[in-house]
Amino acid sequence: MGSKIQTVPAWLGLLLIGLCLVWLESIPRIERPVQLPTAKTGELFPLVVLDPGHGGQDSGAMCAGMMEKDLTLDVAQRVERRLHDAGLATLMTRPGDKYVSLAERAAFTNRINNCILVSIHFNEGNKPVSTGIETYYAEHQIAGGTLLASWLPFLQPVSSQAPNIDSQSLAGFIQDALVTHTHAVNRGTKTEQFFVLANVRHPAVLVEGGFISNKDDAAKLGNADYREEIAAAINDGILHYRDILKTGAATAE
């Protein structure tokens, strides 16, 4: 009898939390509009959101003084310069060494009407022999979103599209270009419901550009020229995806 009485406050607490979340969702919100940079007119996707993984107190993978958060930002900045040269506008989920939550990254991207997302990461394996590059996309992505669902993704409606052709194609083009540029081991494209992929309503991929935990990969990643090759590959993959979209749009006319 005593144990049953003790469970009542717990249930009341959960109920109160639920009511508070519903109340927060009902409050009118003023969201800061995303300031879109200038892009060429007529682009099928006028903007690329670059998402350097980790940041701030979240260093990501580390090995011999090398931190993932520094590598991801460096590569993202290199990709950004190349995309600008190709006439595509970009936005960064974090322009500097700042912590940004996964929910904030997804919400930031979803406030943009038309874009693609490329999240940049580097691997850390349990085995020091693990090596190579892989690119992920979500098998299912959200169909729309609210503030509450951004923080509680199980409330988010899932797109009925199967398979996720747009993200799968983008992942394939980037992965092929990465292997061509870097000659790294091809670990292929894979599906994974990573938060920043599954909770974004635009084509989205996540690149794992090598294993910091592998001494050979780490030595390459420490070389600026090699990171430039990774950036060139991501840029080429995005442009290939854009060109395919343009071809399809022209055929449909």
What is the spatial distance between Cα 123 and Cα 210, in angstroms, rounded to a whole number?
Answer: 6
The CATH number covering residue 212 comes to 3.40.630.40
Whole-number pLDDT of residue 154: 46
What the block records as the tokens of 211 is: 């294993």
What is the spatial distance between Cα 68 and Cα 142, in angstroms, rounded to a whole number?
Answer: 28
Helix (H) or strand (E) holding 89: strand 89-92
Q: Of 244, 91, 252, give the one whose Cα is nearest residue 165.
A: 244
Residue 43 C-alpha from the chain's centroid:
21
Structural domain count of the chain: 1
For 164-214, the pLDDT digits (tens) are: 899 999 999 999 999 999 999 999 999 999 999 999 999 999 999 999 999
pLDDT band at 5 (very low <50, low <70, confident <90, very high): very low
- Which residue range forms the structural domain that includes residue 132? 2-252
For 37-91, the pLDDT digits (tens) are: 544 545 678 899 999 999 999 999 998 889 999 999 999 999 999 999 999 999 9
Residue 211 C-alpha from the chain's centroid:
18
CB contact at 8 A, 83 and 46: no
pTM above 0.85, yes or no: no
